[in-house]
Each structure stands twice: as C-alpha cells, then as structure tokens.
Structure 1
C-alpha cells in the first residue's frame, strides 16, 4: 500500500512539473527489490560473478600491456589470472545451461522487466482509480507486455473494455494469469456480465466454465453455461449440461421450461443416458414444456441408443425383408416397441423424418393385414402399447401417412371387432369420433381398464366432442365480406393450424422484448390478430401475466381447439377468444397497447390494408410484433408450390398424401426435397396444406416492408432471430447495430445467407405519436 501511494505521488508531482522527493523514489526502489528478492541464493550472485570476471580481465590486459616493465615475479601472475578467468567462465556457461534446461530466467534484463512491469502497473492503476481510463490503457498494456502474469492488470483492462466496444477481452490469458481462482469469483461474475454485453460468447463460455468450477453445486450456473454454449454453437454439449441440471432438480418447472426452449437440435455423436432421462422427465406434463422442436434431438438420440438398434436396422430394409423381420419379433426382441422413450415420444411429438414415417407405415400395414394371425398366436401383445402410441401419432399428423387398398379392405373386417387393440389399430387410420357414436359405453368401459387406451380415447373421442360444443360459445365481431378472407376461412375450418399438444405455461426469461422486462407485468391490453389454434395467444398470456388479451381468428374450428387447450392449462380466464376478420377490427371500441400478428397479413388479399386496420386501433407509441414471409428465403417453397400446381394435386387429404409421396421420390439433392421434405410443417396434413397448398400467399422484401412501415408511421425496433449462429454472425458483421433493428443491415445479411428467414421475418416496430 505504501508503494502504491508513492507511485501516485510520483505521478502527481510529474504532472505538476516538479521532481518527486528522492526519499520516496528510494523507498519505492527498495520495496520493489525487497519484494522481488526476499532471499539471496547462488542464482542472485551471477551478476557479481560477471563483474569479478570483468575486473580480472582488465587486470590481465593491463599486465600484458606493461609486460616489458614488469618484474619476473609479476610476469608469473598473468597465466594464473588467465586460468582463474577460464575456470570462472566455464562455471558461468554451466550455470547458463542449467538455467536453460530448468526454465529459470534470472538475468538482469528479466529482473528489470519485472520491476518495470510493476511500475507500469501501478501508474496505470493510479490513473484508472482517478477515472482517467483512456490514459491508463497504455501503461497497463505495457505492463502486460513485460509480465503477462499480472492477473489484476488483466481484470483492470477487462473492466475498462466495458466502455470500449472495439476492445476484446481474452479469457484464456486471464485464466492463465490466475493461480487462486476461489478468491476471484466476483471478478469472474463481473467479467461475465461484460462479455455478454460485448457479445463475446466464446470468451463468455470460458469465463462461465470457471464459475461452474468454483460453484459446482450451483445448477443455474450450469444452465447459464448451457445457454452460452448454445449461442456459441456447441449445441450437443449444451444439451448435456442442461440435462445434467434438469436431472438434479426434475421437479423444477422453470428449469423444464428453459430446457425445452433452449434445445437447439443437437446432432448427438454418442448416446447420452443423462439426456434420455431428461427427455422422459419432460414428457410427464403437457404444460411444463414446449416440445414442438423436440422430435429431431429425440430421434437422433434414439438412433444412438443400443436399445433401439432394431429400429435403426429395420427402417433400411426393403419390403420383403421388413416382413421377415416383423415375423421374427418376440417378446424379447420386440421389447423396444414398449419402451416409454418411444411410446411417449409418439404420443407428444410429430416425427418429421421420412425413414421413420416409412417404418411406421410398413409396421402399421403389417399389423393390419396380419391382425387375425397375431391374435391367434398371442404375438399381438408385443405390439399393444406401440399401437396405442402410433394411433396418437397418426391423429396428430392428421392421417397424412399413405394408405394402400389392401389395408382399406382389412379395415372393414377389423372395424367389426370390439376389443381394445383392434379399436386402437383402426384409430391409426381414422379417428375414433368418426367410428363410434357419442357416449359409446363400450369405448368408455375399455378406457377404464387401460391408461394408455384412455389417453387415446380422450384425444380422439372426448376432446373433439368438447370442441364441437365450444364452437357455439365463441362470440362474433364484425362481418366476413372479403372473398379471399372467406376462402382462407374455409381452409382453416377444414384443417385447423397448427395442431399442437404441449406448451410451457411458466414465464421464462425472454430476449425478444423491446422494453424494460420489469414493465411487462403491467396491465397491457394486447391483441393477438390471427390466433389460429391458440398456441400464440397462450404463449402471450404466459409472458404478460397481468395483461388483458383478445385473440381473434377467421376459423371457429381453430378457436374452439385453442379455447379447449386454454381451459386445460388454466389460461381461459386470461384470454378473450373472438371470431373476427382483421379487416373488421377497425371498428373495435378500445385501442390496444400491443398488437401481435405473426404469419397472418401475408394471407390477406391486401396485406397493407390489414396492417392499416390494425394500426388504427393501436395506441400512439404502441408496439407491433409482426411476422411476414420473405421473398428471398421462400424460394424453395415457391418451387414446391409450382410443383403442386404442375401436378394438379388437390388440397384434400388424399391429394396431400399423393403430393408428399411424389416429393419424397425426388432426389435428395433437389431443393424441394432438401428444404420442404425435411420441414416439420411437411409432416402433418394441416401444416403441409398451409405450407405449399395455401389459397393465398404474399411474399415481401425488407425494403417493401420498410416502405409500408413508413406509410403507417412505424419505426423498427428489433429483428427477432432465434438461431444463435445467425445472431453471432450478424453481430460480427454489424457490431454497431446492437439492437439488431437495421433493415438495411438485415437486407445485406439475407442476400449473403438466403435462408436466414426461411420461416418468416419477425420483428418489433413502434407507432410514432404523429402517425394516423
């Protein structure tokens, strides 16, 4: 402390043009030497040895120069002195070799560097403490150049970097300079906040790893690490870290919600039992997790699991070999069909994979054609749980799987049987509510005997009956005069979209808000324009817990589905579902604080008129959250729509099935196959119709959207992108656009990466006070 004060005084006196007191400089020098050399050893005598050699050499040359004037006795001293110098030189060489082999460096130059580094550090620290951070950078960097092990200098520069966007924080150098990390947890936490602000995500991962080592029992530190790993592109490791955290606290609903929302399609290279355990935990409650995108990691992990080696092999067989394989299954080899990981996944996830679809349809056909034989030899028990789960999967994908004529013939006789397995197998082809009259006692009595079958009855029989009753309760607002609106309404009455099963009803930390998160619990009035089957509206109600939400849609069938799901998860009192057209909303009596309209305006006859109608009921300074199709990113979809038109495929279930098989037959290098067939929306009837059979679709460019916003008096606030790799690349390309709101920047980015907005543009914008 005395030394730091002396250095501060030296800096002060030099600034005033006066020389510092000699006493202070002397004390500083002495304290430095005392700190650097607390004990003198043989290593510290090297310098004096060098001086002795130099002194003797001078004596030798003096004697040689005066050789003729020396006495005979004095002349004998010359070889003696020469011998002493030679011996001392040999000792110096040996010691240098020893130092080189042991890595010791104690030369005067190194010692001077260390002393100078300490002086530079103290000058820099003094300037930093006085608030002169810009001036402190140079001496601190010079101190690190002389001695890179100064941890406090690394931390000081990191803290200065918080106001310098161009400065990079090097966590590897910081870690290398720290010996006792336990005393620096607070410093790591401070740097962690800084790295997030500067979006140095890879460096943030290194920092968070150190925090996890210091706090091994802190689950949320591990969750933070996983979230950073996701952003940094290390998705498999992120999934493992999240799974370990969830398995420690499986009842933590917040942790489950974060788990389901943060899993970004990891391609597992190995089987991870901890991930499998976490998945099973997520399957227990429909409203703790959002499982829409779980199918890909679920399937990838299954293909690495030794328990499912039979599926991995069987899905690649030809038809004849597949039948032989199915005939060979017994209770032991077919045990995988009853594995909860498979059956629960089929009940909750839409499996968007062609090879798995082929496996399921061929096994379904085998069971249908050979049902009588399987019952007679008792092998039907191997497949009972799988049949219940497959029936759930087929209902959720709206029977989009291809059916052959021999299956239809077998179903006629199969439909006459009243045992549970036969009914479930029929439900793999047509829903129960079409096969059984209302309040069928046989069906209800069978449901009481088996929980899996009871779940199937609820999904395919009881829930549709409830939705039919709900339809009559939905209030109506305005007229439906527009011809295109009526055509779109007809499509969604036949195929409500999207058909979903799970959603997280726990409010999670969100990065897509454009206002202070602390204000999101205010009693906002929010309109969800085009709510579909209610998932969007329920998600909004979860995010804004005190908001009054109005959700409108053209389709009564879609609203009925959404209202039933809202009642199941306890959100029905928070949401007012209304049957209405956006064009009629200009007459709505009360204005809204926030209007969310994603994936709707581009299905209207004139998207601008729809947006204008919504803008008329938005308060000044109110917020829009908008989603619109991209002209650039939807080029593969345009080709698929042209493919549908050229093939004259009708938008019926049979037409959609036939079109899907034609697309599956395309080469895997074809853009339609590569983009459309691999899309989740291609694997249910309603989603496939919405994707490539829609009766009305507009696509836009960012300049066109900007032009519409200018006409409406709206200003962009933020583009919403969920892909962490995209965000990382954008931040590197446009470091000055921290809010990611520049449409010009995003236009440049999209031209470089054309599939960035393959789903749609989603962004926040705000209504200015002076706009109409």
Structure 2
C-alpha cells in the first residue's frame, strides 16, 4: 500500500506552494533544534544530537526547517521523488543548503540511519497502514533527549472531508478532474459546498488530491492518539495545535470535552520526547538565550509591532520597540542570577512562547 501512497505523491506533490514563496526566520521559531532541546532537557543538544530528520518531508518543509537551523545537518526523507525534487528546488531558490535528500520509507531501518535530536513527522502517521510501527521506527532514530513532533488528523477536524471522501468512493470518483467538475456544480448551501468554501486547499489540484483522494487517511480521537503514544516509550511534552493548553493532561481533558459536546477538535499537533530530562526553568544556575530564529526580528528596532503567528497553539506576545529591546539582551546568554525581580517576571510570557529558552 505504500506504493499507492508513493504513486499518489509522485502525481500530486504536496503541499504545492509557489516556489518563490518565502518565510521569515521568526516564523520558524518552533522548528529550532537548540530551543526545543533546551526547553525539554535544560541543556543545549550535544554534538551527537545536532541532526534533524524530516520524516515524510513533502515538497516544502526542508526550506523553513533549514531557515530555522542554519549550519545544522538536515535529512529530508520522503517516498516520492516528485516531492523531493520540488522541495530541493524550493530550498535552492532561497539559498538553503546543507540538506541531505533521501528517497525512502520511514519503516525501512536503512533509511535515514543514525540518531537525531529533532524529528519532524507532520501529517504522515495517519497515512500509514501501521501507525504504531511508524512511531516506533521514529522512536528508534531519536537520540537520548531527542524531540519528535507529530501531527495527525483529528476525527472532528476531518468530519467534513471524510464524509465527502466516502461519498466520492461510493460514486466511483477517483481523479481530480472529476472532483473539480463536482466542485463547480456544488450548491453553496450543501454540505459539499459548505466544506469547499472553508477549505482553501481545494483551490489547487494537489490540495484536492490530498484532502479528498488520498489512498489512506485515518482519523483519531484524543484517547486513541494517547493510546498510540502509550505503546511507545515516548513522553508527551506539549500540544501545539490551535487553542492548546500548556499542560498535557489538561489539554487531553479539554479535547475530550470538545468531542463529547459535539464540537470539532483541531488536528492534533504534539511534541514527544525520548528520555528527556525536563527543563530547568529559572534555576539560579541557568542562563537564558534568545531563540536563534528570532535574531533578525529582534534586531529590527522599528516602532511598528511585529506579530509572529503562533506555532505552539497560543497567541504570541506582540514584539514592539520595547519588547525587542528587552529581548536583544539575550542574543548572548544571560545568567538567571543577573536578572532583577522585575526582569524575571517580564521573561515569563517569552519563555511560554519559546522566544526565550533557559538552559544550564
């Protein structure tokens, strides 16, 4: 069945962003290896863990991940040559190098060998015949203290898409041109029409194919996801989807309540860790550093505020002149012991947002 998935992405590379589409370094802050490793381990990654794996990289993610981690070796792994070709071209057009390109299956132990400090597997596990086998394969590639980010479809978030997928299968619709003909004829007040109006990915062919014609796409309730994670030795660290609470058990309960009330959950984004030691907080012997992905943003001391889109599920503090001036102090690490009481209080929101990171 992996052959079916490979053929799907050979025909429809995904996501198909314009090749000239760029990202600001500050928009990639939640992909920075040093910041993630330090947040969950209290130390910066050792040399052996300074590697990143994009497990099912698609046609875009190597570019922003490289922007977030200059100088860090990145392995981009994907089943599809078409995805890899487009991802490589996008990266090269924006001057991003130091990325290794590998066609292969995450279930193959010979693919993307070695250990990694950060693995990103965004929107992949729900397409596998055996998601647990995929999760365990990623777990084996994590270095001690390593961080894994996963995204899987939530049952509620995919309710509309799955009902349409089922209808298309019953109608025998198997190709994008046929779906596009149905889209043009859809009554705006129908379930199909309502979904189309709220789904921007249906404006392009690869988006239609990924949303409605993928060979395999399973969905999860939150307890099903936590049971899947529980079959591994990985530790849930932080949910990062829209509206997520910072405490994992509290967020699990919130998602249960959403589902019980008939409300749609967001697709689940979760950071997991292998043998993570835990963060050090504002310990007296710790230091604080600025997330490296924010250096260029903080360096622009303009009066207008910068708003960085949230990547951890919660709104970010806006960065005006005063906030940037304060954060510039941490371009080089600052000992916690050197902070005043007022400064300790001020750093709180920036720590929550991953803008500042404590480490020993």
Q: TM-score, normalised by structure 1?
A: 0.33
Alignment partners' CA distance in 1, 2:46 and 2:91: 22
Quick one: structure 1 residues 739 and 612, their matched pair in 2 at CA, closer, same or farther if it must change by over 3 Å? closer
Alignment partners' CA distance in 2, 1:586 and 1:509: 29
**Residue 537 of structure 1 corresponds to which residue in structure 2?**
62
For the aligned residue pairs, the C-alpha RMSD in angstroms reads: 2.7
1:635 aligns with 2:159: yes
**Residue 756 of structure 1 corresponds to which residue in structure 2?**
265
Alignment partners' CA distance in 2, 1:570 and 1:519: 30
Quick one: structure 1 residues 628 and 743, their matched pair in 2 at CA, closer, same or farther if it must change by over 3 Å? same
Quick one: structure 1 residues 749 and 650, their matched pair in 2 at CA, closer, same or farther if it must change by over 3 Å? closer
Contact 2:147 2:271 in 1 (8 A): yes
Q: Which runs of 5+ in 1 are unaligned?
A: 1-483, 731-736
Alignment partners' CA distance in 1, 2:256 and 2:73: 35
Quick one: structure 1 residues 522 and 548, their matched pair in 2 at CA, closer, same or farther if it must change by over 3 Å? farther
**Residue 253 of structure 2 corresponds to which residue in structure 1?**
744
Q: Quick check: which has more Rg, 1 or 2?
A: 1
Contact 1:666 1:673 in 2 (8 A): yes
Alignment partners' CA distance in 2, 1:614 and 1:496: 23
- Alpha-carbon distance, 1:633 to partner: 2.2
Alignment partners' CA distance in 2, 1:711 and 1:654: 41
Alignment partners' CA distance in 2, 1:536 and 1:750: 30
Which residues in structure 2 correspond to 1:148-297 (within 5 Å)? none
Alignment partners' CA distance in 1, 2:202 and 2:15: 12
1:624 aligns with 2:148: yes
1:582-631 Cα distance to aligned partner (Å, 9 max, x none): 11146643111111101111111111111111111112221110010112
**Residue 219 of structure 2 corresponds to which residue in structure 1?**
699
Alignment partners' CA distance in 2, 1:515 and 1:748: 31
Contact 1:649 1:658 in 2 (8 A): no
1:437-464 Cα distance to aligned partner (Å, 9 max, x none): xxxxxxxxxxxxxxxxxxxxxxxxxxxx
**Residue 719 of structure 1 corresponds to which residue in structure 2?**
239
Alignment partners' CA distance in 2, 1:764 and 1:614: 13
Alignment partners' CA distance in 1, 2:172 and 2:184: 14
Alignment partners' CA distance in 1, 2:87 and 2:270: 24
Alignment partner for residue 203 of structure 2, among 676, 683, 704? 683
Alignment partners' CA distance in 1, 2:81 and 2:273: 31
Higher strand share: 2
Q: TM-score, normalised by structure 2?
A: 0.67
- Alpha-carbon distance, 1:575 to partner: 1.2
- Alpha-carbon distance, 1:505 to partner: 4.6
Alignment partner for residue 95 of structure 2, among 565, 570, 587? 570
Alignment partner for residue 177 of structure 2, among 654, 671, 675? 654
Quick one: structure 1 residues 599 and 587, their matched pair in 2 at CA, closer, same or farther if it must change by over 3 Å? closer
Quick one: structure 1 residues 681 and 509, their matched pair in 2 at CA, closer, same or farther if it must change by over 3 Å? closer
**Residue 355 of structure 1 corresponds to which residue in structure 2?**
none
**Residue 582 of structure 1 corresponds to which residue in structure 2?**
106
Alignment partners' CA distance in 2, 1:642 and 1:754: 21
Alignment partners' CA distance in 2, 1:604 and 1:656: 24
Partner of 2:75: helix, strand, or coil?
Answer: strand
Partner of 1:612: helix, strand, or coil?
Answer: helix
Alignment partner for residue 613 of structure 1, among 118, 137, 159? 137
Which residues in structure 2 correspond to 1:593-608 (within 5 Å)? 593-608=117-132
Contact 2:38 2:45 in 1 (8 A): no
- Alpha-carbon distance, 1:654 to partner: 2.3
- Alpha-carbon distance, 1:745 to partner: 3.2
1:273-293 Cα distance to aligned partner (Å, 9 max, x none): xxxxxxxxxxxxxxxxxxxxx
Q: Number of residues paired by the alignment?
A: 268
**Residue 15 of structure 2 corresponds to which residue in structure 1?**
498
Quick one: structure 1 residues 627 and 525, their matched pair in 2 at CA, closer, same or farther if it must change by over 3 Å? same
Contact 1:586 1:617 in 2 (8 A): no
